[in-house]
Each structure stands twice: as C-alpha cells, then as structure tokens.
Chain A
Amino acid sequence: MHSNLIPLTMARPGQRVRVTRVEGGHGLRGRLCAMGLVPGTPVEVVCFGGGPVVLNVLGGRVMIGRGMADKVMVREA
C-alpha cells in the first residue's frame, strides 16, 4: 500500500522519504539530478530552519530552496 504523495515541504524533520517526481522546469530537474535527487532516491529530511530544506542525500547534505522543495513530490519510505 502506497502512502500519499506530498511535497517535500510537508515532510517532517527526521522523516525518511523517497523522491517520486520532480515538477518544474528542465533546469530545476537537471540540477537536482546532479545533486543525487533522482526519482526513486531515498532521502532524509535533516532540518527545516523555516527557509531552505536540508536533506541527507546518499550521505551528503544538500540544501534546496523552499520554492524548489515545494516542487519535489515525495512518498514516505
């Protein structure tokens, strides 16, 4: 049973999720791919600080702006 699709900004800090789809333009998607955020990748939300979201992607820490995080759809892993 699949859990619901939510934007990354709705995930809780500490939550482990799986990237499902990236909405938004070509530049955004390519940028995220290069940083390891490909659909299917498990990521952990590290912190929120109110501004950008910090993620644990394949062991490294990547921060992405709020506007961008809104376009990354994830599923609870």
Chain B
Amino acid sequence: MANIVRTDEPARQAATTTRQLTVALAGNPNAGKTTIFNALTGGRQHVGNYPGVTVEKKEGSCRVGQTHLRIVDLPGTYSLTAYSAEELVARNFLIHDRPDVVIDVLDASNLERNLYLAVQIMELGAPLVLALNMSDVAEQRGIRFDLGLLSDLLGVPIMPTIGHKGLGKADLLAKAVEVAERQDRPAPRRIDYGPEMEAEIGKLQQRIDQAGQTPDGAGSRWLALKLLEGDENVRERIADTSIVAAAEQAAERLDSLLGDTPEALIADRRYGFIAGACQEAVRSTVESRRSTSDRIDMVVTSRVLGLPIFLALMYGVFHLTFTLGDPAMGWIEAGFGWLSGAVGGLWPEGSESLLRSLLVDGVIGGVGGVLVFLPNIVLLFLAIALLEDTGYMARAAFLMDRLMHKIGLHGKSFVPMLIGFGCSVPAIMATRTLESSRDRLTTMMVIPLMSCGARLPIYALIIPAFFPRAWHAPMLWIIYLIGIILAVLLAKLLKSTILRGEAPPFVMELPPYRAPTLRSVGLHMWNRCGAYLKKAGTVILAISIVLWAMQQWPDLPQDREAAFAAQRGLVLARTQLPPEAKDELIAEIDQAEAQAALEASLMGRIGRGIEPILRPCGFDWKISTAMIGAFAAKEVFVAQMGIVYSLGEEQDEESEPLRARLQAAYTPLQGFCIMLFCLISAPCMATIAITRRESNSWKWAMFQLAGLTVLAWVITATVYQVGRLLS
C-alpha cells in the first residue's frame, strides 16, 4: 500500500508522473462502490444505502508507481440499458468517454445479480476488472468463492476487496493498471445466444458493418444486441433507419419463433452464462434462510406496524434534535452573550462607535444567532445519515408507496423528499433516480415543502419562545407534518393537472440492513457541520453585514434627531427629579430614538413598504425584513431578527436573549404564522438555482418560487385571520 499516494494536486503530480489513466468505477447501487471510491481516493463523500445516492459524477485521483489515475465514480446502475437520468450518465460515460479501464464493484452476497452488469460491460468490450466487495460478509453467510476459477470462466480478472476496511485496494489498483496497459487484450468471452438469435445477430452485425454505422466506436455485435433488445438510445444513434427497421422485424420473428421477446431471451442467456460460472466457482454451504433483515422487515414493513413505526421514528428524530441539542445550545448562546459583552466593553460607556455596532449587532447578532443552532443541525443530520446508512430509507419508500400511489407518484419519490429534510439541494439532485420526467418535476416542485435543516433554526428560535416545554417536540413534529401533507396535496394537484401521466413501473431494491459504520456517519456529520460553519462564516456573515448596514443608514433626519436631543435636555433640566428616575427617562428616550432610526433606515423603509402585503399574515415590518433576508438563505431570518432586536435595544451584558424579546413583542399565533410562512414560502436561492439546473428551465424554477410564495401567503393569512377570530 506504500506505493499509493493520495493527492489533491493533480497538477503537481503531472510533472513527476509519466502516464495518466482514466478509471471508471461502475457497479450496482448498494454494492459498496462509494466506499471503494473513498478508500481509493481518500475522498470525502457520503456513503448511503439508498440506490443511487451517488448522483453526481465524482472524481478523485491516486497514484500507482509512476502512473497517475483519475478515478470517476459512476452512479449505480443495474444494467447498461438506461431507464433513469442517473443510469444514462453512467452508461454514456462508459460508451462515449471510453475509460482506460473499468472497475466493476460486485456485492459478494448478491453475486449473480451483480454480474449482470459486469457481463454487459464485458460485451461492450471495455477493459474490465471486477472487485468482489464485502466478501467477508458473504463468507460469514457460508458462501465460498474460487476466484481463480470464476475469473477463468468469466474471462475477467477478479480482485477481492473489503471496502470499509480499505482491504485489497493496492492489489485492485495494480491489476487495473495492468489491464489498462496490456497491449494484446484477449477478446472478451462471448455469450452464446442460441442458434436462432445468433443468426439474427449475425445478419444485423453484417448490415451495421457494411453501413459503417458504429457510433462512438461501439462494436457491431454489441449494437446488434442492443437493437434487438429495443434500446431506445441506440436506436436513436443509428442513422440508417433501415437497420433499425430490420432489427424490429428480427425481434418479431424471434418472438413468434421462441415465444418470448428478444429482450427477455437475451437477459435469460446472460443469466444462464452467469449461473453456469457461479455453479462451478461459488459454493454455498447454507440453504437460503430467513435473514435477520427479513425478520426486521416482517415488523418494520408490516401492514399494521409499518406506518406507526415510521411516524414514531420521525417523532423520535425531532424529539432528540431538541432535547439532546438543548444544553449545547445553551452553552453556545452563553458564549456569544459573553463575547458580545466583552467586545462591547472594549468601547467606553456612552461612546457611539460604528465599529462596535458592526461587531456586536451585525456580526455577533447575525452570525452568532445562526451558529447557536449548530447542535440541532448536527443531530438532525446524524439522524438522516443513520436512516440512510442502515437501509431504512428504502423501507420508507416501500411504506409510502401506497400513499404516494394515490397522488400519482410512487414510493421512490419519497426518498428524495426525505433527503429534503436535510437540504433541498441534494434532494432535488436525488430526483435523478426517478425514471419519468413528469414524476421528477412533480417531486422537484414539492421538495422545498419538506422542512430543510436551514429552517430548523427558525423553528428552534420560535417554538421555545412561544410554546410551553411539553409542546416543543410535538410542535416541531406538527410543522414538519404540515409540510409533508402540503407536499402530498400539491403533488396530487400537479399530477392531475399540468403533469398528468402514467406512473412508471416501480421496482426498487431493498438493501439488507447494515450497521452503519462510525466512519461513514462521522464523515457525513463532519461534512454537514463543516458546510454549516462555512455558510455561517461566509454567506451569512456577508448578508448579516449588508443587512446591518441597511439598518444603519440613512441616518435619522436632523430635525428629528434634534427633537430627541431636546427631549433629553428637558429631562435633564428637571432638577427636582431623583437621578435614577432621570436615567430611566433618558434610557426610554434613547430607545425611542433607536427605534425611530431603525424605521428611518433603508431596511426599515423596505420593511414598511412590504408590511401592508404581509400584515394579513400577522407580520410587522421587522418580520417582513427578515422574510426578505430568508430568501438568500433561510437561516438569515434568525440573523436578521437578531440584528433588528439588537439594534433597537440598549446593548449590555445583561441584554435579554432574542427569544425573550420576541415573546414580549408577538403572540404565539404570530409565532406559529412565522414558522408556517417560512416553511412554505419561496425556497432559498440555492434551491431555485438547482431546480433551474435539474429541470433545465427557468420556467419551472420561477413557477416553484412564485407558486410556493403565493401558497404561503394564502395559508398563513387564513390561519392568522381565523386564529384571531377564535382567540
């Protein structure tokens, strides 16, 4: 392993290495591909159990001797016929980018099915190395492999690996380099498709060769097979339509002759080839028995207990988020309180310093207010990582399928929605696993209704401020539930109007339950914490300063400033008053002036401008300004409330926490309406941008923005008005 050097600087490497090879990492979802990728490159990236968590083309690099390897992690796929956007990405890379070598990661416990993809890559003629992953788990289950024999039978080298322990990676890489650099590559094993089919394949192959119709250098045998399978993508790429027509006729002939479609016949032969090899080289000492996974599933996915368990798990997540996070939040809050006192104390009593206000009100009030919620964020992401890594996510899809079916989607759409509880951006990217573009769009549109991690600080600020302790977890649960229900209703509306269409077939793998590894969960949490801290230190800091400045200028008009000064003069002139009473009156006047200054500032004016629109929802101009800030990033709502209430008040070491001030200023109904509006209204800029990218149109991004904002206004205004009438 000593000859493998992890590097983040390919440019520097280029000077010393002689050769660069591109290695594609392919494999079924859940085969442990991402773990292998991490082990090879030391890349920091999430490992999940849900099929297709690897939605982006991820690259890493490493070195073997003098050879520099560029490793591309492809999305997981089951076959080379692409059904979803993700699978298309993987397949296109293999076919068009022609990597120097393909490493196909196989789940040893599920070998036959995993080899189906391997056989197709083999038929494509790509230089291939198989990585038999998690062979330790399979051997525990009583499966024995004769790798030498299996490798001979398949005609492809096989290397054993144990991804999460990083075992076997040096040998795997060495073999990959050897295969990539081999000049006289032996022809791949040819699967015999039987005399009838071989005759048709031969005829098609001849026509393709004659016409020179081999797009992207794919072999004519592979193209002929794909045409017989009816692969849409290959059909489109063949310019000569007479060849496509000939393939269709051949398929019909085979169907009537052999009693099944060529597609099924070809798959059958491939599985036959695989089964033949496995029969010789794989020994299973135990009869397939009910595994622990099945026993867990008997309960977790049962008709009676399934949904209650799911809801209870979700409740548990929110309960933990609050109760476990509470003490840590208290410490951070106290820390910032002390910091703001200490920084404020650097300036002498009574001096008016802009820098002091910038640091205390803008930076500490804004960024500090957001950082306080770090413990909540960490816990929420911990819970999501656990749900994903254990394999429960796929069960959630199973449980929700019946409900989702009623709204015209299927259970698979629910997984991106669950990821949406963490962040809408990866959730919208995760919709790539959906096959139908209509389903994808519908899911994308409603994902922002799943309360993301950035909205949690808002709830964490509001709920304890207005509701008794016993209500904290239920209230949070209710807010999340409202989001889910709205998402479901909206999806139903979209699917029955503008995005009407048949639900595509629902097939999904239920990965076995796995104990999440500390490393994987730790990596995931570390990434999330890092991202949150980075966001707080960059975007939120910048926005906080801008918001602070907008509340600092323009100054109060001189005549009004003079009026406040005159008031102070009058108080000071009243000689019969005791000094304490004087101080109190002066403080009151100061506060009124600060309030007036805030209202006169740019932000105050904007807030006042939109206040009439948001007043029916129960929002004053201060909340209105925070809602504008929330569009940049949802956490900014908290930062802005921190700034607005920090500026308006006398600032000292004993200043009340923001929650107490909110409690004094608003009713619980208003608090609830704030949460409701933040939940539903305009998703953040990043979400709009990713929707634009993934839907490939501004139209859908704008539709999402406008639609959700209008919906938020209607619902919040209704709740506020009805609530006011009732109370």
Contact = CB atoms under 8 A, between A and B. Distances in A.
B263 interface: yes
Nearest to B77: A34
Contacts of A29: 261, 263-264
B398 A30 contact: no
A33 B504 contact: no
A12 interface: no
B508 interface: yes
A22 B259 CA distance: 12
A34 B503 contact: no
Contact of B398 (A28, A35, A51, A56): A51
Contact of A38 (B264, B435, B504, B505): B264
B506 A49 contact: no
Contacts of A6: none
A47 B297 CA distance: 9
A29, A54, A59, most chain B CB atoms within 10 A: A59
Contacts of B505: 24, 27-28, 31, 64-65, 67-68
A11 interface: no
Interface in B256-276: 260-261, 263-264, 267-268, 271
A57 B288 CA distance: 11
Contacts of A51: 398-399, 401-402, 405, 411
Given A35-B113, A68-B505, A52 B411 contact: yes
A36 B399 CA distance: 23
Contact of A30 (B81, B302, B399, B510): B81
Contacts of B435: 27
B301 A35 contact: no
B410 interface: yes
A24 B552 CA distance: 67
Given A27-B83, A47-B297, A50-B402, A65 B506 contact: yes
Interface residues of B, number: 45
A34 B506 contact: no
A36 B293 contact: no
A46 B401 CA distance: 17
Contact of B263 (A21, A30, A47): A30
B268, B271, B507, most chain A CB atoms within 10 A: B507
A62 B505 CA distance: 13
Contact of A32 (B306, B507, B509, B510): B507
Nearest to A57: B113
Contact of B267 (A21, A38, A60): A38
Contacts of B113: 35-36, 57-60
Contacts of B157: none
Given A54-B297, A54-B398, A59-B112, A35 B81 contact: no
Nearest to A41: B271
Interface in B391-412: 398-399, 401-402, 405, 410-411
Contact of A39 (B260, B298, B507): B260
Nearest to B302: A49
Interface of A: 21-22, 24, 26-36, 38-41, 44, 46-52, 54, 56-68
Given A34-B267, A62-B508, A63-B508, 11 more contacts: A28-B505, A29-B264, A30-B83, A31-B505, A31-B507, A34-B81, A34-B83, A38-B268, A40-B268, A48-B303, A62-B509
